[in-house]
Amino acid sequence: MVRKQAKQKAKNVTELNNDYVRTLQQKEERKRAQKVRLRRRLAVFAGIAIVLFAIQGKIFFNQNKILAQKEEEKQVLLSQLADVEDEHLMLTRQLEKLNDDEYIAKLARQKYFLSEGNETIFSIPPKEEKVEKKEQEKE
């Protein structure tokens, strides 16, 4: 009840319109306007920061995706490299063997059925050919 009476008395008081009161009101109005402008600026900067973070996050995830693809490609290429190196090593060894006359003579005897003086050559088909011939005979 006391509060209601105080409010009613405050309403009944007339405001003074002198220079001092006006300057105080202007100062208060400037402070309120500054706070509003500060909040707006902070909101704009926060919005810009959020947009920049979103862009950076997207770039980060895209780069991680590309990096994962490159890693997979690297693994495939490394396995191919290992195969090529093995083949290179095999071919190098074969080249060294081809410089040996005994090896060349052995190859000639195997592939072209060449023989030395008192040799007799018997040609035995591989197992795969035997199986294929049996299947053809059954049909």
For 50-109, the pLDDT digits (tens) are 999 999 999 999 999 999 999 999 999 999 999 999 999 999 998 888 888 888 888 877
In the predicted model, what is the mean pLDDT of residues 103-119?
76
* Helix/strand/coil for 44: helix
Domain edges within the chain: 17-112
Residue type, 125: P
Surface-to-core class of residue 9, CB atoms within 10 Å of its CB (0-12 exposed, 13-18 middle, 19+ buried): exposed
Determine the Cα angle at 24 with ends 22 and 27, to 5°.
110
Gap between the Cα atoms of 108 and 114, Å rounded: 6
Better-predicted residue by pLDDT, 114 or 19: 19
Give the tokens for residue 85: 């190196």
